[in-house]
Amino acid sequence: MARVCLPWSFTFSYQNGESLSPLRRRYPTVVSFSLPKSSTMIIDDNLGKLLQILPGDLRHRLLNDSRKNQLVEVIMDLGRPPEARYLGEPGGQYLRNIEVSMEELEDAQELVGEFGDDNRAGIEGTLHRISAIRNRKGFVVGLTCRVGRAVSGHIDMLYDLLHYGKSILFVGRPGVGKTTVLREIARVLSDEFQKRVVIIDTSNEIGGDGDIPHSAIGGARRMQVPKPSLQHKVMIEAVENHMPQVIIVDEIGTEAEALACRTIAERGVMLIGTAHGEQLQNIIKNPTLSDLIGGIETVTIGDEEARVRRCQKSILERKAPPTFYFLIEMRKRDYWIAHQTEKSVDTLLRGKNPVVEVRKRDEEMKVSSYLIFFNNNFKFYNANKKTKKRKMSSTSKAWLVAASIGVVEASKDQLGICRWNYIIRSVNQRIRNNIRSTSQANKFSSSSTTVFASGKDNKAKQAEESLRTVMYLSCWGPN
């Protein structure tokens, strides 16, 4: 697939009024705009209570550590030096040269208390989590003491999506901040949106340990789960007994839980959930979780249909509507990729690239959203290379101008960020009416270092196909 790099980009700011200005960027973004809501990051970690279970020398060192606000977890394995791991740093750092003894593990276990069936425990009144590693005889030989923080400020990344009232699934690797986001969503939906929110807290990680939930979840109610294997039953119980408008569940991982999510969604309840993975393709290929995005089945199509689609007669298709309307890939804590699940799944199954939205937060806590365009029908030429430049056709110039204008106009609506159909209709209409002239296109493209050429004159159809193949660039996020 050839990449179409637009020769310009615009920026649109809600906070500074309606102002459009050409902005030369490193990457070929079509449009970037700042989301209207922003705030400072507020963190409450109660780190001292977690350090109480550690040996005295480790506790003293960590309390005086200048990087304690970036502390992620402390590892204590029998016969090895204790290790601290920090946010954004590969590997870990040994806290001392002396190995961890069995007495130290037993003392820590006594302070923590009893572990559950999932070998997890917590500290009452906090969000910290302690996980145990056992030997074949059932004795604890290792502890992972993970810091739990109540963070306010993540909601800025998806505040506009909450207004839709649609279900949202977060996908990301362990440690990327999925549970932290769930806590703040629970607080905002219950306190600001005045919705009846019930949290299914299997490991007491969302609402903290103890019978009284942590203040980080606001007015949301919390249902604890006796055993991890009963999570799906507690989910159904919450809907039947407590009349929630929103159900929040962490770490959906079994077929029964995926089926429970579908049952809840069919009853008109908004779902907010998380699942392990890195991108949407991981969920599609996972037979256990694929029901969350509608399920995948193999179908056989006729010869004529296969010819029209230019594909084989046996193809993959989505079986049912997805449980979650939006799916967000959390690549990093401050770098997300938002999908409209139904359209993205169908596009991926056709072997094309879906429409996505890249949301990121900079060091100044400003949240921005970016769109990038790809197209098969354009050929890419680099002005730095010694190749013969081809003249851009009138249709191509009209398409480039109309695409930028259409996306900018669609982005003016604060709640219209994901209204891709409106963008497509806007661009197609401008091309059909030939509103923008070739001279206007020349004005933008003349200063570009990149020259584009079009192999076919497909007019509006070409524009629509280009918009449907919008996708993110790998260079924007982590490799």
CATH of the domain at 278: 3.40.50.300
**CA–CA dist 279, 333 (Å, integer):** 14
CA separation for the pair 234, 244 (Å, rounded): 13
Q: Are 327 and 181 contained in the same domain? A: yes
Question: Strand 197-201 vs strand 221-224: parallel, antiparallel, or unpaired?
Answer: parallel
Same domain flag for 76 and 20: no
- Cα gap 88→73, rounded to integer Å: 12
pTM of the entire predicted model:
0.69
1 lies in a domain? no
125 with 160, same domain: the answer is: no
- Residue pair 89/73 in contact (Cβ under 8 Å)? The answer is no
Which pair of structure tokens corresponds to residue 7?
A: 């020769």
Asked, for residue 225, whether it belongs to a domain, the answer is yes
In a domain, 203, yes or no: yes
Q: Are 61 and 184 in a shared domain?
A: no
- Containing structural domain, residue 248: 150-361
Q: Of 342, 361, 380, which residue is a domain's last? A: 361
Residue where a domain terminates, one of 336, 361, 386: 361
- CATH label of the domain that carries residue 142: 3.30.450
**Which residues are registered as beta bridge partners of 71?**
86
10 Å CB burial of residue 205 (0-12, 13-18, 19+) is: buried
Residue 296, Cα to own-chain centre: how many angstroms?
A: 22
Task: Spell out a b/e string for 289-306, using b for 16 or more CB atoms within 10 Å of the CB, else e.
Answer: bbbbbbbbeeeebeeeee
Do both 201 and 316 map to the same domain? yes
Per-residue pLDDT 10s for the chain (479 aa) are 223 333 223 232 222 222 222 222 333 333 343 444 445 555 667 888 999 999 999 999 999 988 888 899 999 999 999 999 998 788 889 999 999 999 999 999 999 988 988 899 989 888 999 999 999 999 999 999 999 888 877 788 888 889 889 999 999 998 888 999 999 999 999 999 999 999 999 988 899 888 999 999 999 999 999 998 999 999 999 999 999 999 999 999 999 999 999 999 999 999 999 999 999 999 999 999 999 999 998 887 777 777 777 777 777 889 999 999 999 999 988 899 999 999 899 988 888 888 788 888 887 777 776 654 444 333 333 334 444 444 545 555 455 545 554 444 444 443 344 444 555 555 555 544 543 444 444 443 333 222 222 333 343 444 444 444 333 222 222 33
Q: From CA 127, how far away is CA 50, in angstroms rounded?
A: 10
Co-location of 74 and 87 in the same domain: yes
Q: Please count the structural domains in the chain.
A: 3
CB 13 within 8 A of CB 38: no
Phi then psi dihedrals of residue 363, to 5 deg:
-65, -20
- Residue 66 sits in the same domain as residue 116: yes
CB 81, CB 42: distance < 8 Å:
no
What tokens appear for 200 in the block?
A: 């299914």
Same structural domain, 370 and 354: no
Residue 5 lies in a domain: no
Instruction: Look at residues 119, 146, 173 and tell me which one is the last residue of a structural domain.
Output: 146
Residue 160 and residue 298 in one domain: yes
Q: 298 and 427 share a domain?
A: no
Residue 96 lies in a domain: yes
Asked if residue 114 and residue 247 are part of one domain, the reply reads no
353 and 372 assigned to the same domain: no
Please report whether residue 282 resides in a domain. Answer: yes
